[in-house]
Amino acid sequence: MPTVHAIPAFSDNYIWALIPDNENRVVIVDPGDAAPVQSFLAARGLDLGAILITHHHPDHTGGIGALTAEYDVPVYGPARERQAIAGLTARLADGDQIDIDWLGCRFDVIDVPGHTIGHIALVGGGMLFSGDTLFHGGCGKLFEGSAGQMRASLERLRALPDDTSIYCGHEYTLKNLQFAAAVEPENADIAARIEQVQALRDRQQPSLPSIIGLEKRVNPFMRWDVPDIRRAARERHGSDLDGPDAVFAVLRQWKDDF
Ligand SMILES: [Zn+2]
């Protein structure tokens, strides 16, 4: 199984590097910027072997051009985005697989519309690369999709095994958990996780990876069907909410205004 390294980029992005055992090639996920990837490779004497892309936003794709100018590698990305992604060599959608023979694990592609329409998540080897769909403690903004689409996408990710490691696109965890605590003031798991994450961030360490089992306990966007969350959303809305998508929509709007 490859080891996973976080390459910080911009102010709060993570570019993920997957390094297999006994290989000097690396798979890079969502290179929004080429320079930190080039520095990472140079510092370790590694080659770029492939690029994986979760969605079309520039802070996840901006490094493709410079990296593929230097390295002739395949670039796997979403087939169904509204905006074309320059440099893709393989366009993927739900049910497709990414099989890089030297990597040591395969990835299943899951369509997760919401943040963008064509956003994909990659699942394999006990890992989930969720881009800007599922964050630790939160979810992506609804730039293109509806609340119902995002909730359905997160429902699919929630069904993954509890010990699945989550590697997402941004270090938004503390702010997300502060919102989660506002929604669920009585949730002791959220309070405990805030302390742990604060300690990690004080040492400049990532709060990631999370795991699915933890998100099910602390992330309001994975808990739309929990009675306390439904009650909080109804109180925020001021009247009864008609079903899980309506609860989710109120939560998402609440977070946008938080
Ligand atoms: Zn994005």
Query: Could you confirm whether 115 is annotated as catalytic?
Result: yes
C-alpha distances in Å from residue 111, one per residue of 90, 119, 181, 246: 15, 6, 29, 22
Q: What CATH class does 3-257 carry?
A: alpha beta
Is there a contact between 139 and 151 (Cβ–Cβ < 8 Å)? Answer: no
**12: DSSP letter:** T
pTM of the entire structure?
0.98
pLDDT of residue 143: 98
Q: How would residue 68 be classed by pLDDT, with cut points 50, 70 and 90?
A: very high
What is residue 228's predicted lDDT score, i.e. its pLDDT? 96
Whether 57 sits among the annotated catalytic residues: the reply is: yes
ω into 209 cis (within 30 of 0):
yes
pLDDT in tens, 96-145: 999 999 999 999 999 999 999 999 999 999 999 999 999 999 999 999 99
Rounded to the nearest whole angstrom, what is the distance from the C-alpha of residue 39 to the centroid of ligand 1?
A: 24
Q: What is the mean pLDDT of residues 202-220?
A: 98
Distance of CA 132 from the midpoint of ligand 1 (Å):
5
What would the pLDDT profile of 73-90 be if each residue is shown by its tens digit?
999 999 999 999 999 999
Instruction: Point out the catalytic residue in the list 56, 59, 111, 136.
Output: 59
Annotated catalytic, 60?
Answer: yes
